[in-house]
Each structure stands twice: as structure tokens, then as C-alpha cells.
Chain A
Amino acid sequence: MKIQAFLQKVLLLELWQGMWVTLKNQFRPHITVEYPKETVEFPPRFRGVPRLRKDPQTGEELCVSCLLCEAICPTECISIVSEKRPDGKGKQLISFTINYERCCFCGLCVDPCPTKPITAIYMSHDYEFAGFDRDSYVTAREELVDGKPVKIYTS
């Protein structure tokens, strides 16, 4: 027993075992990606910046300006202005603004959206939003629907 402990002390056995683990790991495949050149794949539920969308078939506006997303937003980053439709049925959207500077990407605004089965507001997969001034993060409806022109860093 004593000899074994002595040998362990002199021969640095446990350190060599650790080295062996490190050596084995040299031959494992890489799990990192070279980010600007390539990106990882996102799962369908990935929460990027919230965007608006139109009905993909008819091209009509989906948002019914119910103000539910504005009410539930914890950071108050959504602002909706609407008016009564001239024919008296429902409301018409005048402006829909999201301030991406404040958005915390929690996805709570999508939950109460009443337009079924496609919600008017959705969490897109865009995430590259570096900018040089704060005002450029206030995004109006047109950009929300079509996708704000984003400088793409990935090729």
C-alpha cells in the first residue's frame, strides 16, 4: 500500500491520466463554427426580433389592432395607433412601431395575438442588429413587415 502511494507520488500517475484525457479530446470533432463565415442552424422556435406579417395567401394585413401585444409587453417597446374603419367594422392600423432597443426578446407578445392560425406578430430568426445610433432601432410598420434592411455580416 505504502509503495503504491509512493509510486503514485513519484510517477505523477494522476497527472498522466489527465493528460491522456486531453490527448483523447484532441481527436474529437470541432463543435465551434467560424461565426461570420458560417452560422449555426436555428430551431423553429428560435426567438429573434419580433416582426409583423401579412397573410401569406391574400397579402392582407393580419393585425387587427387589438392592442394585446402592446398591453403585455414588459418593456413597453410596442406602440400601436389605430382608428375606426370607415365601414364601422373593427379598427384599422395607422402605425405599428417596435423599439428594438428596448425589446427583451421574451416572446410574450406572440402569445395573446388573436389572429389564428397565423399570428400577426411573430418572433423572426433575425438577430444581427448592431447599429451606430439609438434612433435607428425604432422600427416602423413597413420595415417590420418587409424586414428591416439589415447589414448582413455573414456571407
Chain B
Amino acid sequence: MFRTEMMDINMGPQHPSTHGVLRLKLLLDGETVTDTDVLIGYLHRGVEKLCESKNYHMIEPYTDRLDYVAAMYENLGYVETVEKLMGITVPERAEYIRVITAELQRIASHLVWLGTHALDIGAMTVFFYCFREREILLDLFEAFCGARLTYNAYRIGGLPWDVPPGWTDRVRHFVKIFPGRQQEYDTLLTKNRIWLGRTKGVGILKAGDAIDFGVSGPCLRAAGVSYDVRKAHPYSVYDRFLFDIPTGENCDTYDRYLVRMEEMRQSLRIVQQALDGLPAGEVMGKVPKRIKPPVGEVYHTVEGPRGELGFYIVSQGEDKPYRMRFRSPSFVNLQALPHMVKGSLVADVVAVIGTLDIVLGDVDR
């Protein structure tokens, strides 16, 4: 008399909670997800192919458009890879300013994550507060490099400009007021029973699986693995700053939330130290007019807000890269989604997408 059957549900690509154009094919047993097929590529622009026909200066604006929520990191990773490829030394002051802007970018990116993640789960207020604080950061970036989203802020060998007058004081002001603001998000969410109910025990990704899936960044650290490229392979001048790597225990969405919240505090610590130790001097190193790296290949990683951001450049001695490959953390982290949502409810899929903190421009490249 009664008959049950599995049901296919299509989620996306035009779905507000997929943070872009992600399409999921969910196989449902009642309301339980039994299988997921992740379909990506709706935002594929062929940047890797395009880079093969552009010279090294021209590529930086393209890296802006990969992970547009944290474009500073794409810039940083790219210029550092080319510098490593050519053996260029960057002036101290430029390195410090890079660290300051990059860490502020991490906070801005985590604020977007926190706001949209909470919005997906149903807490709307946090979204407005997060974007209010992000606005301060975007104003800082705009004063520094002239753009609010696609910065193109660094150049191979240093920075195009020094910081504008009064900029460091504005950063100091932000460092002063931000902990109070973060306390507000804390009050709104951390002990909120609805938030706990929606995040605790949801989307569990254990350490072994996380490493196997290549997951990096906060998602890996929430599983208890304290792997951070800034510590494991210190690039730029990160080895001079004191900061901790927050880790979680329960491998669930709530722990990933706690880890990211703590990361914002640690980023503020780094910014504070970098501001105090900011040396004077040049911001542009000695760089040949034509960037022509020798024959060789490098793979360089930086720790972006989403995880290990890798750049692989093969040079054949020309002024254009022979092969350019972006190892984007969102692409790799998204792969763990079917594993994380298996056996959970449809509503939790939304929470898991939010907690993975994917940016589809980064996934599809």
C-alpha cells in the first residue's frame, strides 16, 4: 500500500545559499541525504589558459578575480611565487605592509564568511554587523590601493606605492575597536541555543578524512590538525610574529566557527606587531624591467583565509609563464562536501556549504 522511493533534488546553481553558482544533485531518502553529486564549472573562465598568453605583470589583475573575497591573498601568493622563481628580495617595509594588508584581508574575508554563514542558518543581524566592520577594512584598502574588491595591490618585487599618510593610524584605530565588535558577534552567536542546535555535530570531518581529502585551512584545523602554512613554511616575514594556531576538537561546524573567530583575533595580533615593527625605507626592490624568469618551475603556497593557496608556475625562460596552475583551497575543500553531508538532513547541507567557506570564483577559476 505504501511505497517509498529515493528522490533526486537539484540544488542550485541559482540558490542563495550556495554562495555563487554551485549545483548539487542530492539523492534523498526522505529528508536524509544519501548521495551528493557536486557539479561545478559554471564560473570557469579559463584563467590558467589565459595566463599563458599574458606576461608576468598582466597576470596579477587576473588573480584578483579568482577569490574575489580575499583578493589580497591571491595577489600575495602570485607575486611571491614569481619572486621565488626569480630569486628577488623584497624590501623589509614592503614585506611588513604586505603582512598588514593580508591579515586585514583575512579578517575581512572571515567577516563575509561569518555574516553569510549566519544568514544561511537564519541569524540575520550578524550579517549587518559584519558588513559594517568590513566596510572599515574596505575603506582602508581603498585608501591604500584604490580599489575595494579587486585590489591589484602588490607588484613583483615590492609595492607600487607606500601607504598613504595617516593610514597606519587608521589601522591602529581599527585594531583598537574591532575586539569590542567581535565581542558582539560572540554574544549574539556563541551561546545562542539556535546557533548551537544548527551547528553542533553537523558536517563532521575527522582529521584523517580531512587530510585524505586535502582539506586545508580552518576546516582542517577544526579537526585538530594544527597545520598552517604560516608556521609550517613561513613565507614573507611571518616568522617574526608571535601568533597561535587555533584548533578544534569536535570536527564539526561549531568548532570551525570557533576556529575562525579565534583566527580573527590572531590576525589582529599580527597586525599589531607588524605595525609596531614597521621599518622605514623603500617599498620597491630591484627588479628588471622585463620580468623574464630562468627556466624552472616552482610551487609556492600561502595560507589564505580558506586554506592553502598554491601557485605552480612553469617557466621556459620567456616573459610569459609556460604553465600556470592555481591550487585553490575552495576547489579542494569542496571535494569533501559529499562526505560531510552524507546521512544528514537537507537543511544541514546549507550549513555545511557555509562552513566550508567556498568562493565559486576560486573553485571554477
Contacts and interface: CB of A to CB of B under 8 A. Distances in A.
B68 interface: no
A56 interface: no
B191 A44 contact: no
A43 B129 contact: no
A91 B247 CA distance: 63
B61 A45 contact: no
Q: Looking at chain A's contact residues, is the secondary structure mostly helix, strand, loop, or mixed? A: loop
Contacts, number: 68
B193 A14 contact: yes
B184 A15 contact: no
Contacts of B4: none
Contact of A45 (B54, B164, B187, B191): B164
19 contacts: A17-B187, A18-B187, A25-B129, A43-B139, A45-B145, A45-B146, A46-B147, A47-B146, A47-B147, A72-B58, A73-B58, A104-B150, A106-B64, A107-B147, A107-B152, A108-B57, A108-B60, A108-B152, A123-B146
A22 B184 CA distance: 9
B132 interface: yes
Contacts of A42: 142
Contact of B58 (A25, A74, A105, A123): A74
Q: Looking at chain B's contact residues, is the secondary structure mostly helix, strand, loop, or mixed? A: helix
A43 B164 contact: yes
A42 B145 CA distance: 12
Given A72-B57, A108-B61, 6 more contacts: A25-B129, A42-B142, A74-B54, A74-B58, A106-B64, A107-B146
Contacts of A108: 57-58, 60-61, 152
* In the A-B complex, the 4 residue pairs with the closest CB atoms: A106-B61, A74-B58, A47-B146, A45-B146
Contacts of A18: 125, 187-188, 192
Interface string B28-64: 0000000000000000000000000010011111101
Contact of A106 (B129, B150, B187, B192): B150
A45 B143 CA distance: 6
B54, B61, B144, B164 interface centre (most CB from chain A within 10 Å): B61
B241 interface: no
B143 A43 contact: yes
A27 to B, nearest CB: 14
Contacts of A73: 58
A15, A18, A25 interface centre (most CB from chain B within 10 Å): A18
Contacts of A1: none
B135 interface: yes
A108 B60 CA distance: 10
Interface of A: 14-15, 17-18, 20-22, 25, 31, 42-47, 72-74, 104-108, 111, 123
A106 B191 CA distance: 43
Interface residues of B, number: 31
Given A43-B164, A45-B164, A74-B62, A106 B152 contact: yes
Nearest to B189: A18
Contacts of A22: 125, 188
A87 B132 CA distance: 59
Contacts of B146: 43, 45-47, 107, 123
B115 to A, nearest CB: 14
Contacts of B142: 42-43, 45-46
Contacts of A47: 146-147
A108 B145 CA distance: 12
Nearest to A73: B58
B129 A105 contact: no
B129, B146, B160 interface centre (most CB from chain A within 10 Å): B146
A63 B355 CA distance: 51
Contacts of B161: 45
Nearest to B145: A45
Nearest to A75: B61
Nearest to A110: B160
Contacts of B150: 104-106
B160 A111 contact: yes
A123 B146 CA distance: 9
A123 B160 CA distance: 14
B101 to A, nearest CB: 14
Contacts of B187: 17-18, 20-21
B184 A45 contact: no
A20 B125 CA distance: 12
Nearest to B54: A74
Nearest to B144: A45
Contacts of A45: 142-146, 161, 164
Nearest to A13: B191
